[in-house]
Structure 1
Amino acid sequence: MGEKTFDYSAQVRPFLWVFLVVTPLEIFLVDLLVPWFWLRAALLVLGALSGVLLAWQLWMLHRFKHAVDDEHLWLRYGREFEYRVPLAAVGTVREGTTSRPRNRTRSVEDGTLVLSISYSTNVVVELTEPLEADLGRRGAHEVTRIEFWADNPGEVVRALRK
């Protein structure tokens, strides 16, 4: 079958691009408005660093996508988070948009691993067996269900049902 990849960042990419385009304008305006050289230099460095970080985030969201290969479902958020789900543990899969009150890209709520984008998920995976999800500083949790966002949830559901 090979690996199929799926985007998840269409909702946040436009905002990142806007900030990336506005950053040079901000640097230029600061240079015009601030009279002290030492402050202009410090703000120039911070503005340039901001632009680099925005470009890096855009690249990471493009490079590290959700994927389905012959053995696993790979759920990612840039390089910050990667979770591997064995396809043998995948039970039912369906589309279903859910709104979440907390704006965390990843959390576990009542045994559900939630990977949201802009407070929402649109793919639901019921697991046939509990799996452990390590959220770093937030600890490891046992999960029996996964909800995540995909830009094209229908394709993800079809790929997981094969």
Structure 2
Amino acid sequence: MGDRTFGYSAQVRPFLWVFLVITPGEVLLMDLLVPWTWLRITLLVLGVLSGLLLGWQLWMLTEFKHAVDDEHLWLRYAREFDYRIPLAAVEKVSQGLTSRMLGRTRSVVDGTLVLEISGSTNVLVLLSEPQEVDLGRRGTHEVTRIEFWADNPEAVVRALRK
């Protein structure tokens, strides 16, 4: 089957680009409005750092995509998390929009790993056997279902059904 990657950031990328484009103008405006040199320098440094962080986030969302290879489904969000689910554990996969608005990119709700983007998911994976996922400080959980967002859910469903 080979490696196939699937983006998940199409909903948030435009907002990041807007802020990235606005940041230099914001820095320039502060330079014109603020009379104190020490504050202008501080705001310039913060503006440059903000622009670098936004650019880094855009790069991370583009670089670290969901993937399907011959043995695993890889679910990612930038470098924040990277889950590997064996394809042998995938029982059923379907497409359908779900809105939970949990306020986190990853959560476990009633045995379901929810990886939402902008409060939504559009791919559902039912597992034949429970899988452990580590949510860091929120602990390790066993899940039997996974809901996640993909920019092209049809392609993800096709790749997982092969």
TM-score by length of 2: 0.99
The whole-number CA distance in structure 2 between the counterparts of 1:61 and 1:152 is: 15
Q: Which runs of 5+ in 2 are unaligned?
A: none
SS in 2 for 1:54: helix
Quote the RMSD (CA, aligned, Å): 0.4
Which residue number in structure 2 is paired with residue 153 of structure 1? Answer: 153
- Aligned length in residues: 162
Which residue number in structure 2 is paired with residue 29 of structure 1? Answer: 29
5 Å-filtered alignment, 1:75-90, equals 75-90=75-90
1:3 maps to 2:30:
no
State the shift of 1:101 in Å: 2.8
State the shift of 1:86 in Å: 0.1
The whole-number CA distance in structure 2 between the counterparts of 1:9 and 1:60 is: 10
State the shift of 1:34 in Å: 0.3
> Structure 2 counterpart of 1:35, which letter?
P
Which residue number in structure 1 is paired with residue 141 of structure 2? Answer: 141
5 Å-filtered alignment, 1:1-162, equals 1-162=1-162
The whole-number CA distance in structure 2 between the counterparts of 1:21 and 1:5 is: 28
> Structure 1 counterpart of 2:135, which letter?
L
The whole-number CA distance in structure 1 between the counterparts of 2:66 and 2:38 is: 44
State the shift of 1:103 in Å: 1.5
SS in 1 for 2:15: helix
SS in 1 for 2:31: helix
SS in 2 for 1:31: helix
CA offsets 1:16-71 (integer angstroms, 9 cap, x no match): 00000000000000000000000000000000000000000000000000000000
> Structure 2 counterpart of 1:47, which letter?
G
CA contact (8 A) 2:132 2:143 kept: yes
The whole-number CA distance in structure 2 between the counterparts of 1:39 and 1:70 is: 55
> Structure 1 counterpart of 2:21, which letter?
V
The whole-number CA distance in structure 2 between the counterparts of 1:41 and 1:138 is: 39
CA contact (8 A) 2:101 2:118 kept: no
The whole-number CA distance in structure 1 between the counterparts of 2:137 and 2:29 is: 39
CA offsets 1:93-130 (integer angstroms, 9 cap, x no match): 00010001312100000000000000000000000000
Q: Which runs of 5+ in 1 are unaligned?
A: none
Identical aligned residues as a percent: 77
